[in-house]
């Protein structure tokens, strides 16, 4: 049984990579198995090493981390990608999530927070740096000048909440149907109705909303 999480570091600053390696290798359950200084190197190493986790900087020379993200997900399908960046910006966060990232941590984070983020992502959770969650939620809620409920989540039925939470966690309609003893068609009806009430049009937007609400902090077991 595998006990260590294998990690590929992708950042163009060698000093930072060295520090990250020391931090992560000091954890009994984490092991750095490769380093890349640009997106192209990260792609090649990801395909060859098949790491469990890729710790990825967004801005690197040549092929950037943001540009490489979709290809990394294909090169190492089972790997999760955790962004480690200086960009304290919701726009970058949204784009990274839409391209397949499982988490987003700022380089100013404490060592303990980074380690916690790595472990959270490996548990299947979506981790977002705390400073970005408020901005993320503000950008997703309806305009306060409109005559709509202040908290649209509370307008959902309990079943709609259950279905949307499971969708945000990455479960398919068939998996949700089996879990809740419903038909796939009924699950899709709850999903569509709930998304409409929240004013969301994609799973990426739902994931962002769920993160900002704290709905993914306690990932239910499959």
| Structural domain that includes position 11 | 5-132
Average pLDDT over the chain, rounded to an integer: 86
Domain stop point among 97, 132, 167: 132
Band the pLDDT of 220: cuts 50, 70, 90. Answer: very low
147 and 122 housed in the same domain:
no
95 and 11 housed in the same domain:
yes
167 and 127 housed in the same domain:
no
Q: Is residue 52 part of a domain?
A: yes
Q: Report the run of H or E that residue 97 belongs to, with start and end.
A: helix 90-98
Condensed to tens digits (0 to 9), the pLDDT of residues 50-106 reads 999 999 999 888 888 989 999 999 999 999 999 999 988 888 888 898 888 999 999
**Would the pLDDT of 133 be above 80?**
no
Q: How many domains does the chain have?
A: 2
Strands (E), the chain: 5-10, 30-36, 53-56, 80-85, 103-106, 127-128
Band the pLDDT of 214: cuts 50, 70, 90. Answer: confident
């Amino acid at each position: 049984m595998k006990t260590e999480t294998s990690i590929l570091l992708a950042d163009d600053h060698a000093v930072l990579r060295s520090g990250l390696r020391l931090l992560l290798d000091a954890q009994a359950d984490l092991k750095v198995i490769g380093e890349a200084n640009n997106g192209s190197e990260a792609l090649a190493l990801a395909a060859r090493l098949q790491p469990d986790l890729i710790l990825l900087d967004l801005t690197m020379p040549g092929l950037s981390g943001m540009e490489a993200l979709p290809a990394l997900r294909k090169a190492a399908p089972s790997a999760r990608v955790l962004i480690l960046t200086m960009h304290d910006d919701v726009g970058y966060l949204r784009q990274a999530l839409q391209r397949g990232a499982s988490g987003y941590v700022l380089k100013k984070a404490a060592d303990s927070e980074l380690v916690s983020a790595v472990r959270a992502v490996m548990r299947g959770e979506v981790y977002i740096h705390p400073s970005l969650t408020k901005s993320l939620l503000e950008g997703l809620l309806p305009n306060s000048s409109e005559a709509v409920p202040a908290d649209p989540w509370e307008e959902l039925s309990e079943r709609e909440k259950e279905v949307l939470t499971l969708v945000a966690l990455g479960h398919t309609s068939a998996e949700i149907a089996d879990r809740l003893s419903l038909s796939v068609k009924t699950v899709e009806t709850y999903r569509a109705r709930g998304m409409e009430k929240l004013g969301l049009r994609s799973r990426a937007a739902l994931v962002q909303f769920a993160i900002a609400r704290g709905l993914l902090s306690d990932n239910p077991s499959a």
